[in-house]
Each structure stands twice: as structure tokens, then as C-alpha cells.
């Protein structure tokens, strides 16, 4: 929370995207009890358990709510399901479907997730920050329009050009539902929240402004109008130089950086406030020198400003839990020249 307020700490605080997940044997055990992946997301006891597992094992400085960005389309009754080996699937939506969307059932549908936040906060050590999260409107919209993940989000990009009014309405609905959802997470005990725009990097600059910046700004304005102290991290993966305007445009407190962001550019972004990232998750899989060098470079280049150490995207299932332990130890020892 101190770094989100702009302080520089050495060593920096540390958490990892997808820190609760398939690389941990204890997660796989709990997941078996849940039935389906979505059942796990909506089961407050089990979702709390998997959120706490990496905190018990590694003592990260933040726990992040275990859930999924697609609970929002699920609340909009889009028939979300997770097919083994295929990722998420849902009914693709068209302009008529967008006109008929009814967000009113959102709060009741998402109540178990909010309950999970409450349970995690009451079980979490006081010094551990609790992060809530949701997907950004653009990224969630890409899944709703295609009905699944795609390599380049061509369906959503094309739909946005062909049906600009319907697409704008979809983004507004998602922004408003997501803002309400994050406010309810904050009220249940989340100290800060992260907005994941995993597909922002596929957008040209005009579209980035329209579909990535503005909907997130709408969310943040709405959250802060109601909860003025709210701390918000925005992660626009793959956005590259468009990140230069992203913090000012969205007013987020911190900007998440994927691993492709050059560290000298990251230092420029850091002059405006906290940055989070950005170790390549493959360095965690590789371990050894690849891991150590990657950590040291980030600490060297970004350690003199407000930094939350993290990966540049989620930890992968093939990561070895012991290697993650080595990462934590190295960051905490403040390796690099300035620790």
C-alpha cells in the first residue's frame, strides 16, 4: 500500500500473478474437490483456501482473490464454461444480444465472490495486502464476442468497426458492472484492486484510447466517486509505448508492466508513480542464472523508484514451486547493486 501511494521501498514488495494455481500441488488437490473451475470460483471456502495457499508457502506481500475475469459475462448469463484443454467458451454475442443484456442480476450472482473476499481478509495476516480484481471491459468483451479466446481478437476488432454503437454499449455495461463489483470487493475487505486488460496490446492507438483507456477511466472515476481512497493497479498487457499515456488517461495508481516493456522505458513510467512487474514467467520455469539475472536487472533498473515486484504475466503451470521460493528469497535479499 505504501508503494501504491508512491513510496520507494527496498527490497520492494512482491506478489506474482496467478500465484494461486496449477503449479502448486495443494491447489491441484483443492481443485479436485471443487468439481468445475467455475464452481471453485464461486465456492467461498475453497476459493479462500487456494488464495491463502501461496501466502502460507511463500509469505508474499499481497494475496490476490482467486477468481476469473469471466464471472462478469457469467453474471450476464452468457453460458460461460471451461472446456478442459480448450479454455473458456461461451455463447458469442451480437448487436441484438448486447441490446438485451441485463446487468441487474450481477450483484446476486457475484455475491459468493464478495463473500470470498470477506473470508480471505479475516484469515489473512494483517500485514498482507488483499488485492481484488476484475477483467477490463475490452478484454472481457473480446471473449463475449468471439465466444472464446482467439490469437488476435479479430472478431471483437471487426465487430467494433462494424457495430460501433453496440460495441460502445457493451463496453459501458461492462465498465459499470465491473466498477460496482470492485466497489463491493473493496467494501468486503480488499485493500486495493487490479484491472487486467490482457488483450490491450492488440489495439491500434485510436482503438487503445477508445477501448482500453476510456472504459478503465470510466471504472476508476466511478469507483473513486464512491470510495475516494481506493488504490487501483491497471495492467494493459502488450501496450508498449501506449503505456506512456495510460496512467494519466486512466488515473490508475500503478501500472502493471508485461515482460516485453524495456526497463529504461519502465523507468520513465516510474517517474509518474508506481510500476509493477515485469519478470518473464519463462525465467521462473528456466530457473538458475536466467532467473537470477532477470530479477537482478529489474531490481537494478527499477529499485530506486516505487516498484511492486511481479512477473510480466501469470506464472505458468510448469513452474517449480522451489524455483518460486528461490525468486522470493532473491528479491527479499535485495540482490542487484542497490539493495
Active site residues: 18, 22, 31, 68, 143
Cα–Cα dist 176/169, whole Å: 11
Location of C-alpha cell 488483499:
130
What is the four-CA torsion angle of 274, 299, 311, 280, rounded to 10 degrees? 130
Cα–Cα dist 63/18, whole Å: 10
Angstrom CA distances, 116 to 121, 190, 250, stand at 9, 10, 28
Q: Is 290 left (phi over 0), alpha (psi -120 to 50) or beta?
A: alpha
Q: What angle do CA 63, 337, 60 make, to 5 degrees?
A: 10
Enumerate long-range contacts of 113-116, CB under 8 Å, 24 or more apart. 113/41, 113/42, 113/47, 113/65, 113/67, 113/71, 113/181, 113/185, 114/184, 114/185, 114/187, 114/188, 115/44, 115/188, 116/44, 116/47, 116/48, 116/51, 116/65, 116/66, 116/67
- Contact between 54 and 20 under an 8 Å Cβ cutoff? The reply is yes
Say whether the peptide bond before residue 11 is cis (omega within 30 degrees of 0).
yes
- Contact between 136 and 177 under an 8 Å Cβ cutoff? The reply is no
- Contact between 193 and 230 under an 8 Å Cβ cutoff? The reply is yes
Considering only CA atoms, which of 168, 170, 63 is closest in space to residue 119? 63
Q: At what angle do helices 164-187 and 137-146 cross, to 10 degrees?
A: 120
- Contact between 135 and 171 under an 8 Å Cβ cutoff? The reply is no
As given in the structure block, the three cell numbers for residue 88 are 473458456
Amino acid at each position: 500500500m505504501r508503494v501504491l501511494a508512491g513510496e520507494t521501498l527496498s527490497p520492494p514488495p512482491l506478489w506474482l500473478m496467478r500465484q494461486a494455481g496449477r503449479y502448486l500441488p495443494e491447489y491441484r488437490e483443492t481443485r479436485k474437490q471443487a468439481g468445475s473451475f467455475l464452481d471453485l470460483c464461486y465456492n467461498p471456502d475453497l476459493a479462500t483456501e487456494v488464495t491463502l495457499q501461496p501466502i502460507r508457502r511463500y509469505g508474499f506481500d499481497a494475496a490476490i482473490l482467486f477468481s476469473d475475469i469471466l464471472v462478469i459475462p457469467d453474471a450476464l448469463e452468457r453460458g460461460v464454461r471451461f472446456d478442459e484443454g480448450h479454455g473458456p467458451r461461451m455463447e458469442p454475442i451480437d448487436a441484438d444480444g448486447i441490446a438485451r443484456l441485463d446487468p441487474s442480476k450481477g450483484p446476486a450472482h457475484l455475491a459468493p465472490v464478495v463473500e470470498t473476499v470477506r473470508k480471505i481478509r479475516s484469515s489473512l495476516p494483517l500485514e498482507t495486502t488483499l488485492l481484488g480484481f476484475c477483467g477490463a471491459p475490452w478484454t472481457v468483451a473480446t471473449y463475449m464476442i468471439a465466444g472464446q479466446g482467439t490469437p488476435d481478437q479479430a472478431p471483437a476488432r471487426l465487430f467494433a468497426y462494424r457495430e460501433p454503437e453496440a460495441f460502445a454499449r457493451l463496453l459501458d455495461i461492462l465498465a459499470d458492472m465491473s466498477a460496482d463489483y470492485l466497489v463491493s470487493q473493496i467494501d468486503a475487505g480488499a485493500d486495493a484492486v487490479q484491472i487486467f486488460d490482457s488483450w490491450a496490446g492488440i489495439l491500434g492507438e485510436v482503438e487503445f484510447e477508445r477501448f482500453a483507456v476510456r472504459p478503465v477511466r470510466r471504472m476508476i472515476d466511478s469507483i473513486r466517486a464512491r470510495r475516494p481512497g481506493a488504490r487501483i493497479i491497471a495492467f494493459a498487457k502488450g501496450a508498449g509505448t501506449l503505456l506512456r499515456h495510460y496512467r494519466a488517461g486512466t488515473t490508475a495508481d500503478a501500472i502493471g508492466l508485461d515482460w516485453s516493456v524495456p526497463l529504461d522505458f519502465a523507468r520513465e513510467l516510474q517517474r509518474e508513480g508506481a510500476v509493477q512487474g515485469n519478470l518473464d514467467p519463462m525465467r521462473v520455469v528456466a530457473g538458475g542464472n536466467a532467473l537470477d539475472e532477470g530479477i537482478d536487472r529489474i531490481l537494478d533498473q527499477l529499485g530506486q523508484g516505487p516498484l511492486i515486484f511481479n512477473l510480466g504475466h501469470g506464472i505458468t503451470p510448469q513452474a517449480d514451486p522451489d524455483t518460486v521460493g528461490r525468486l522470493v528469497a532473491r528479491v527479499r535479499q535485495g540482490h542487484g547493486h542497490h539493495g
